Each structure stands twice: as C-alpha cells, then as structure tokens.
Structure 1
Amino acid sequence: MKKSFLIMLSGLFILLACIAFPTSASADTTTSASGTTNECKWSLNSERLVIEPLDGKSGKFSDWSDIQSKVPDYLTTIYSVSFKKGVILDSTHLDFKGWQRLHIVDLSGLDTSKLTDMSSMFEECENLVTLNLSGVNASNVTNMSRMFFRCNSLKSLDLSGLDTSHVTDMSYMFYNIGCNSLDLSSLDTSKVTNMSYMFRDTYLTSLDLSKFNTSKVTNMSSMFEQTNLTSIDLSNFDTSSVTDMSFMFSSSQRLASIDLSSFDTSKVAKMRDMFSSTFSLRTIYASTKFIINTSSTKSMFSYCKDLTGGNGTKYDASLVNASPADYAKIDAKDQPGLFTCVHERGLQKIEGTDISDGKDGVITHYTCPVCNLLYKDPAGKTDPLDESAFIKHDPSELSYSWNLQDGYALCSASLTCKNDASHTLKETIKVEDSDENGYEIVKSPTCTNTGLAKYTVKFKNPNFMDQTKEKELEKVSHISVDMPYVPATCAKPGSSGGTKCSVCGEILMPPMILTVPHTPGEAVKENVKAATCSEEGSYDEVIYCEVCHEQLKKVEKTIDKLNHTPGETKNIIITKPTCTSKGRSKDVTFCSVCGEQILSTIKFHDLNKLPHTEVTLSPETPPTCTTDGRTASTKCSVCGMIVKYSETIPATGHNYKDEKVITIEPTCTNTGSYDIKKVCTVCGYSYVYSKAHSIDKLDHTPGEVQKKVIKEPTCITPGSREEKTYCTICNHLIKSHTELIPALGHKPKYGNTTLATFTQDGKTAWKCTNKGCNVIGVHILYRLSKVTLNNTTVTYNAKAQKPSVTVTTRDGKKLSASYYTVSYKNNTNIGTATVTITFKNGYKATTKKTFKIVAPKIAKVSIYTPKAEKKALTAKWKKISGISGYEIMTAQNAKFSKRKKTTKASSNVTSVKVNKLSSKKTYYVKVRGYKKVGTKTFYGSWSSVKKIKVK
C-alpha cells in the first residue's frame, strides 16, 4: 500500500513539473563541435558524435574529457555515438551513464580488447533505442553490473557476439530494461557469482534460461522481483552455492506457478519475502532438496492468498506469516505445507483387485513415498485421490461402435469401469446382408439416385441395448447404347462413336468430333502496283479452298523501291575557308534516271583554315635583376588580328648568398661577434642585413689532472681523494670532484687448518697483516654432501667420453671445480667406465663414480614382399633413421645356408636389386640395418623373412 502511494505521488510530481516547465517539441539540432583526444579526432554535428583515428587508420581513445569540456551539456545534447574502424579503446572502462538524449550507439568499429569493466555502461540511458554491439571484444570483462540499468526504451538487444566467459558480476544487468524478450542463449555464466536484481522490474513476458550455468552463483536476491513473466523454467538451475534468495520472486504478480524442483537450498541464509506479493501464485513445485536452514524467512509468503499445497493446504495469513518456515515444505498427509511434491523418487504402483465374495475391489493406483498422496496416473499429474472415493468400480461408461463392410456389418458394445479402465465388458454382433431379420432395404437405388438400407442388432448381454444403423446404397449402373454416326465436310463438322444411357439419356462417353480440313490452292497475286526508284510498289497475296472456294488467307505485300542508277558525281563547296574559320564541301552523285541526289553517296569534307600572315608589332626586351622585360608581339596582315600579345617578363631579382664578416675574435674568456652581409652573385650588389651576432667562447684547454689524497683507506673503510683540472691558458678551474678509494680488505695470513671431508666441515684460522689491523677470523669449508654425474649411460662413439661432475656441499650449494680434479678410466670402449674425483684446497677426500658405455641401438627393419624379375629380385623395406646402411641377405632355403648371398645398400635407399640368381628358383630374403662407429660396425636385428620365386 505504501509502495503504491509513493508511485502515485512521484507521478504527480512529474506531471506538475511538465506543466510548470514545458519542453520544446523537438530538440535543438544546431549543436556542432570538434576536437582531438589521444590519437583520435571527434566531431559533433546535428547531435551526432563520430570518433575516428587521426591518421584514418588506427588511434587510441581513452575518455570523454575533451568532449565534456567543449560540450558541457553533452548529457542532454548527444543523440547518437559511433566509432569508425581503427579506434582502439585505451582504457579498461567505458560508460554512457546518464546520457539522457542518447538514442543510437554503434560500437562495431571500436577495438575493446583492453576492456575489463562494463559496469553501468548504458545505465539510465532512458531514450536508447538502437544498440550495435557486434564486434565488441568482451573476452577480458569481469564486471557487467548495471550494464543496461533502466534502458526502458530499448525494445530489442542482440547479445549473440558478447563473450561473457570471464564475467563474475551480473547484478542489476537488465534492471527495468524495455525488451519484451531476450535471447540469452549465447551468454556464458559459468563464472558469475552475483545475479541479484538481474531481471528486476523488467518488461519481459518470456525468458529462456535453459543455457544458464549458475553453479558458482551465491546471490540471487530480487533476481525476478516485480517482472511481467507468466511462467519461468528454472529446471537447469544449480543453486548449491546460493546463500541469498531474499525477494527472489517478490511482486511478480503474473506468475501462477513456479517449479523449484531443481533447487538445492542447503546453503541459503536469507529467504525473506522470497514469494511475497505474487498475487496470482497458486502452485510451487519443490523437492526434498528445498531445505530451510535459516531464520531469515520473514514475510516469505506474504499476500500469496491463492497459494495451495499439493494436498490441498491453503494459505492462511494468520498461520503462515507467524511461522513461514513451517509452511516452506511439501504438503503431505502427515504435515501441512504450501509446496507441491514433484515425486522425485517416482510413484509406487498399487495393483487393482476385482470385486469378489461381496467385497469391494480396488482400482490400480500409485502412491508417492515423499508426500504419501494417491494418484490415478503413473506420473502423478492428476489431482490426488480421496481414498474413500475410488475403491469401488463404477461401470457407467457404455459405448457402441459400427464397422460397415461390403456384404455385412459389425456392431461392438463396450461397458468400462469409470475408475479403472482395465475392467471392461465387450460383445460384437455380425449381420450379413442376406439376413432377412437383420438387414432391410428402405429405398432402392437407381442410375441417378442412391438407395438406403438399415441394419438391426440384438445383443445377448442384457446390459446392452438393441442398435440400428443406416447404410447408403450406391447408384446402379447406366444402360449404355451407341450414338449414330454423322459424316463431316470441310464446311461442317461430323461425329463418330459415343454412348448414352437408354434410361436417363445421360451421355456416358462423348462422341469423337470429326472435321475435314480445307484444301488450299496456289497463292495468287491481286491488286498489283509496280515499284519505281522513287516509290514502293504493292500487291495482295490470296489463297482459296479448291473445294468450297472460301478465301482462306490474304496478306498485303510490299515491293521495295528500285535502286537509283548512279550518274555524275560533283564536289560542291558549301563554305569557303578563311584565316579565322574552317570551310566545308560535299561530294554528291545524281541518279541518271530521275535526276535526284543519291543520299547514300554523299560525303562531307572539312576545309582547313588558311594560315595568318604574321608581322611584328614590337620586339622582345629581356629582364634584369631590378627591371621587368617584355616578349615580342605580332599581328595578321590579312585580318588584322593580334596573333601574339606582348607579355611581361618579371625581373629576375637578386640572387643573394650570405657572407660572414667577423668583427671581434672570440677567446676562452670572452665571446666574439660577426655581421652577415647579402651579396648578389649576378650584379654584385651587397648590404649588411644582420649585425652583432655572438660567437661562443672558445673551450678551455684542460691541463693535467691534479690529485690529492684527503683520507687514507683501511681494511673495511674506504678513503677519498680530490681531483682538479685547470685551463692552461687562463688557469680557470674546469673540473673538480672527489673520488672514493675502495677499502683495502683484509690481507689474511692463514694458520692452523682442519680439512673438510664427507663427514666434517673444514676450518682455517687467519689474521689480517695490514698495518693497524689486528682482526682475526675462521674460514669454514662446508662438508661434502653429494657427487653426481650428468649422465650414467652413454652411447659408444669411438671417442673418450667424459660426463660432467657436480659436487654439492651440506648447505645445498654447488662446489667450484677449483676444489677438485677429475680423472677418467676405461671411458672409450663399450663397458663400465670409472670416474675418480680427488678433492684439494682445504678438502681431503677421494670418491669414484661409474657410467656405462653401450652399443648404438638400431631399429628392426620392416620388409615388404620382394618383386620377382628375370634371374633377379628387388628387395624393398621401410626406411629407418640413424644408421650407416642396410645389409640384404638372400638364400635358397629358410636357414640361409644354401647359396647365401649378401648385398650392402646405403642408408638413403629403400630398395635394392639382387642380380645373378638362378632362374625359376625360390629365394628367401631378409634385411637389417648397420651403423659404423669409428672402426667398429654394429648390426640391428634381421627383419622377418620373405620368399619369392624369380623368373
């Protein structure tokens, strides 16, 4: 009530404001401004803001500061904003919050790859109607809170290209948006934790959330508060992490039912006003996962006056509002609640029983183990059954059906129990058309009208009543007779064949229409008019029928004019040429018969102008540095026309070069000076145009560096000395600085020494021998901890092999190689090599390590079936790597003892031809790889054996 009053009061204030401060019917469209920001330029013309790169290719843009400073009323002025391709947003955030005049935004040309925050991006853009987000890169965005807050004029929104895979906050995102529907199927919500107020106060009438991933959402408060939704599918919602559901569906007054069967509320701490003021709400479906673990349930069901539980428990404000948590449960026989069970564990079937021994039977029914209610259908979709109302059979549903066939009819009677369809009584009677008692012809059929028959059935079971059924009888066939033959002429058609009914006269088969065509004669010419060379001729071409003489066709024909007969050709001058205009002439041929010009032969010719006869009016005068010259002028002596006008040749001007004139020579203590003189290289004219230019002092000439020790260094304290440099000419101090002398460091003299081993640290006493220093100390060498080789197995390479040695001390640090020597033994040939490590310089220990030298590994060759040739064969195999070559062995038996032959091949081939074999003999073939290392050769395993009979 209070909320309604406030809404009414705010509306009154808005009305008064409109009366007191009327606005113009149309906005001022004369605003224009421009500027630059970062690497972009912007222009505002007729309220349309366009931002583009300065160089037309690419440029960074970070904020609105320049636009805001030049357009102070930008919030109420700018109608549209667009970004040209190449604009790069150099910021993590961009918003149009509160742009009241904004109608159109096009972001398709903006590079938003740096954008991480879209919160409040279009907040309170209440006039925004068109928004292009295609091309927007949101792959790094984590916050979309309040993104479309109160965009209540926005009726459509395409989010298909928006990448939300990293977004965690969508609170208030579509608050009060103007769309009736939204396609959210492309939104990735897998990382979202906050969806509070997401769809509050929207105009949405439908909403598909089937693709929403809510597994990480913790806050759903007011998510669907005050919407226009009539239904909502939340079957895929994962609420296992949600802690706040307060006001979630509050004031959504058109919702009649809500299915919360997927809701797990085990972590929810706030549920107050969750369904309050949903006046149309009648049913809330839930499962046993809907658990109340909180005391924050105040007003949970307030004003849900039509809400009813699955077992009929109705909303009672005095009871429910006093303890909402007690009614936030499934309505069952043993406990009242306002939720309806979704039978998550399935319904258990109770088999029906027949009536026997005077006892009432029971129809088959189903019971839910959660709510203990009884249902007639296995899905539990019907209303629950009253136990006292369904235990008796009710045989009240009686029905009859007919099946009419040729020569007989079937009538079936059925009596079914209204409470249990499995209890049915049936009887079927067959009546033949030959049955005089069961079949009667009421009206006989003719060839023009159908007839009528009636079947009568008497059932044996007294529960069934006698039945009758009428059947329409088809018309009888017509009696066909032939129609007379009528001959045809070319003037009148005839007919042949055809039949008709002798009873009713109906034509059963139309006769064939016979026609005889006209016999056209030869075409004749009539009304002939001869042609001449000046006029066309004509005639009529007519065709008549040779039998009846009827005119069949008449065509008017034209006779082309006769060609002219060319006679004399004359050249006629039309216009004579002069020195100011062209002339023109034509060649004309005349007809020798009619004397007319033959137009097709006329040829026109242009006659060139006559040339002017030039005479000089004035001679040419050349220019100088200071005076203009003139070109020569001429005229035509025939027509008097000036052919060339005299023109001014501009003065050439002086060709100056600069010359320096030193007036005072510089020294290292005083500056010098010079004047600059302009001298013409043509006429020699000169003048001083700039005086008293300064010449920098000369650099000082440094002498030897003078050094002086100020403080002597000690073992641990650095000393210092002063260094000065003077000019050898003027004795000026050029440079002076104090330099540190490094500390000397102790100069130890070592005394008693304990050597380090694998079991004890080493120690050496020492005393500093520098003058004035009596410092003594002990130098510790940490005991040896571990000795390792970098490789314990190496492949034979015919060279001495020396794996590197690493020694670590008890402090885990690597020991310098200066503290030990390494020697190797038996480290060239295959076998076990020995490494001896002998320690020195404060260490006393010797240890040995071994490593193995093994033969090279050679892969086994895969052989293909050889190719038989005349007294030869070609062996083929699959190439292997890391070898020197292949060895191919052939023989006439599988043991390779008879006529054995060995052939070698290089490593880069995969086939070899073996010649000089015995014809028509079977040979066995195998291949292996080998590798040469130094003077030794290593062989791999033989391949499988293939056999082939040579030709």
Structure 2
Amino acid sequence: MRKKFKKMLGLSLSALMMGSVALPSATYIVHAESISTKTPGSAISNGNEISTDSSTDVPSKDSNTNVGTDSGSEECTNHVLKKVYGTPASCTEEGTKTHYVCDVCGKLFLDENGENEVSEEEIKIPEAHEWNTPTYDWSGAEVTGDSTELPSEPDGHTVTAKTTCKLCGEELTETEEFSTDTVHTADCTKDPVVKRYATDFVNSAFTNNSVTYNTGETNEEHNFTEFSDQIATPATCTEKAQYYLKCSDCDVISTNETDEKEEDEPLGHSFTDKPSNVQAAAGTCGSNTYYVQCDRCDAVSDTKTVVVGEATNHLNTVVINQKDATCTKPGYTGDTVCDQCGALIKKGEEIPATGHKTSNKVSDKIAKEATCTTPAKYYLLCDTCNEVTENTKEVGKPNGHSFTNKDSGKVKDEATCTSPAIHYVQCDNCDEISTDKTIEIGSTDADNHGNIVLKNDKKATCKDEGYTGDEYCEDCGKLVKTGTKIPVTNEHTWDAGKITKAATCTQAGEKTYTCSVCGATKKEIIKKTEHKWAPRTETKVSGKDVVTTTKKTYDQCSVCKSVRNMKTVNSVRIKTPSVTLKAGKKSFTAKTKKLSGINGYQIRYSVKKNMKKSKTVTTKKTSKTVKKLISKKKYYVQVRAYKTVNGKKVFSSWSKVKNITTKK
C-alpha cells in the first residue's frame, strides 16, 4: 500500500529528512512504504486538510529511516492521522470505506481518534451488481379444463426469472422447477384453486414466487349431511322426529332432504282417562267400562280402562288402599269404590308423613365428643317410632382446659443475660393458650441485655465535641457498647432572632439570629410585606341648576398610601324647570325661569293629559310661542331643560303638567 502526504507533525517531509529542523528529544520514525490512492481525494493531518491528488512517495517502512536525535522502537505512541475518503464499489471493481492512515506507522483506522484499528481487507467494499425488480415467466404453468382434482405437473414444469443490473445493464437469468399444491377444492361456495410455486432460486436477486389458477368451477350441488334445527315432521307415539338436513359447506338448509337423529326416541303412548270405542265390560250400576285410548293417537290400551256414564245405583261401597302415615312415609285415606261394579266413587287423598317428634329421649349414639369448652352431644330418639333422629342434645359438662407444661411457642419474655425465656403454656387437649400460666424455656442469653441504660453521653455543639455515651446493662452491670466521639457540628443553636430592619410594602427587611453557644450570627431577608388595600370612594358635587357629581373609586394601601384601580365616573343632573302658560289666538306661550349652565329647553304638548301623541319643540330661549293650534282647545304642556355633555344631551325631568285653552 502507498501513502500520500505532504505534512507530518506540522513539518515538511523534506525538512525532516534533511535534518534542518530541530525536534524535541524523542524518536520519530517515518515508514518509507510508498502509498498512493487510486482516485483523487484529500486527507487530514493534525486538523489540516491535505490534498491527495498526487501520488507522492515516502520512504518505505522497511527502511526504518530515523528522524530526530534519539533512536527507539517502531511502536507508534502518538498517531498522526490523515483521512482517506472512500470510493464506492462498482459492478466490476472493489470500493473502499472512508478511513484514517497514520503518517508515522502506516496503521489503518475507521475512527478519527485512532482507536478502531482495521486491516486492508476490512476497508474493502466487495464489487456487486444492483439488480432491478425481477420478472418471472410462468408460461406453460396454466391449468386447463374443469377438473376439480389436483392437476399433474406439466412437462418441463419450470419458471424463468430475469433481471438486469441498474448500473451496467448486465442481464441475469435463472430457470427453476416449480411445485404444485391445492389451495382449496371445489364446493358449493368456492372454485377449485391450485398454486404453482418456486423456492429454490440460487441467485439472491430472485426471491420465492408463486401463481394461483382456478382449475374448475364451483360445485353447485350441496352436501346435505348435517342436521339443522328445523323439524320437518314432529315425533309421534311410535315414530322419531324428522329434521331437515343442512349443507356441511355453506349451512344452506334443504327443503326436502330429512333424517331422524339416532339418539332420539318416539314419544310413546299417553294412556290417561280418554275412553275408546272398545268396551271392556258391561256395567251393573248404570255405567259401562271401556278401554282407554291414547291422548295423541288412535291406539287403544289392552289393560287400562275407564268407567263411562254415571253410576247412580251403587248399593254397596267399600274403602280400599287405605294406609296410615308414619314418621317418614306418607299415608293414604283410601279410595271409595262400588263393591258390585268396582267403579271409583271417590278418590282418596295422601296423608303427609308425620315426621319425627323428639323431646329429651337420648340415644346411645354420640354426635360430637365433649371438648375443653363444650359438652358432648348425643342424637335424640323419636318419641313415636324410637328411631335415631338428626336432632341432638348436649349431655354432661365440658372437659375444661388442662394447662400443665406444654410449650405453646408464644413468647412472653425473651431470654436475657439474667433469666431464661418465658413462654405461655398450651392446653394439653386443644390449641388454647393460657393467658397467665407460663414456663421457663432454655437458659439465659448472655448477649441479650434486656435493660440498657446510656451513661456519659454528651451532645456535640458548634463549639465542643460530643460523645454518644456508653451503653450498660442495668441488670448485670456489664458494659455493652463503648461510645464514640461526635465531631463538632456545623449546626448552630440559633435564638429566635431579632428584627434589625423591618420590612415595608416597598422594601425587604432583615432579621439577625445569634448562636447561643458560640455567638455566631446569621442574617435572614424578610420579604416585603403585602400592601394592605382598602377600598376608597371620593365624591365631589358642584353647580346649582346643573349639578355635576364626580365619583372616584380606588384601592389605597393603609401602610404606604399607594393607590390602584382608580376609576372616575361623572354624572350630571339638571334642575327641573317650572313653566307658566299664556293663551293666544290658536297658540300659547310657554315661559320658564332661566337656569344657569344649560344649552336649551324642550316643550312638549298634547291634547291628552297623559301626554300621549304629544309634540315637542326645542328652543334656546326661556320663552317660546307654539302656533297653528286649534282654537278654543285645551292643551297639556310640560317643559324640561337640557345640557350637551361630551356630545350627548342630558335632560332634566319634565315639569309638572299644566294646561291652557287657546283663544278663538
């Protein structure tokens, strides 16, 4: 490998070789192995970019040319790296990765810090084509005909894959045999489908490929082999129920194909009391006996009969089938029948079982043995039948606990240096543990000191060392643990502090603390106090005829007198004027006293006292004649004053209504 560089350690190569530059007292070795790059590029040495366009040769590494004053080994301890930019691989030539070359020892690295050393083989990029998406020729794989069976492989059953290189245009072709599988067979819902597939391509440019074909058409005939839930013919006394069958492929239910389920059974005859037409015997008390007919069909019983007709002439009756009830079994009152014809005159009723009745009759059978807390229980005998019942009764007294020396395991006191452990006693017959009886277990524990007291302890302060104290056993007097010194603490014992500068609404204050042990002080900033806002209102009234009211509202701090949220509202109220009226010919004159500070007056008049449909005239004078009125007509009149404030008219209230009649 050849190396190309122009600088090493900031010095020109020629200067180093000639020895014209003085170097520090160290050994520098230039490996004179000639290197060159295949393509122009650039390199970086000591942070400087070096052109690599030329094939500059340097002394071979084998010559071990020494530069400097000292001699030493060839091991490079301070790599001088230059960056060599990589070249991409082509279809026919290898490429290289971007890497770094040490100008001193010639070693190769993938990182700029010279930590990841690699070989020449490791920086090579193999030549490789860049293939287009391949095409697959499946001609000859088609399936013909309407067969629903898996077709055989055709002669020469192969698929041909083709592709070309994007870079050089080279063509690649590979032919492989394909196999055939059934995707699904034909049924009443699906066509038969097969798949041809090829999976053994050698070249990695080609992947597994497949194609599917229909080999026939849907089988329109359903496969009616399963039972549906629809009954075609219900079960009878002698025949099983018939069910419509459904297709096992699509669940379509047949309209004519039926079958019976193997596990079903016919209903069987129901012979109750329906008389048939077949007479069993002639009656003697006005009735006849007939064989019973099935409730569901025409079948007639050959054994069961029923009496038809009213038998009213029964001379002798008897009670049969009567039975007394017992403790566990019901009884029967008996049926009343005719002794002559056997007709049932009255059916009997069931008598409920009486049940066992017990009082205090104790059997020898024990139900539960006596325990420490409960007496024994025995089963009771029935007072009527003397059988043993499920009822029980306590007999005798409880056995009571037996607390002797059985260790319960429950500790009352652990073993100490002066006494063994003390456990509570357990009952010999049950799990009950005594609350007061105890026994000693084992021996004393010399290392378990029950009552430890602390002596000679002293708290450390900011001025003096402390001492954790010595631990002594109060029972045996033994020193259990020796104390240790406690270093002087950095924590002072501060007093409650004294305010040396009071905080205000605008300035922070200061509080000084003094250590009661060593006299050290510290200061603490006291935050500014919050303003103590209180609402304030100022009202100013001016004027006589035109009264102006100025109202100011704001918040003011009671401490520093600061003001916020100032709002000013001005209102104007005009004095209501009075009016005098003078009648004229088809007119009247309204006159009012002059009010100071106003801009004019309004006069309104109406023929109605409630001033509906009134008319209004405006004047700046104190007197105004209203003309073109109706003669000898009474008019109602009001006057009000106005003043223009901020471009808007502010009116007084209307004066009291006065009236006047015009002249002719």
Q: Which has the higher contact order (CA 8 A, sep 6+)?
A: 2
Q: Shorter-normalised TM-score: what interval?
A: under 0.3
TM-score, L = length of structure 1: 0.17
Which is richer in strand?
2
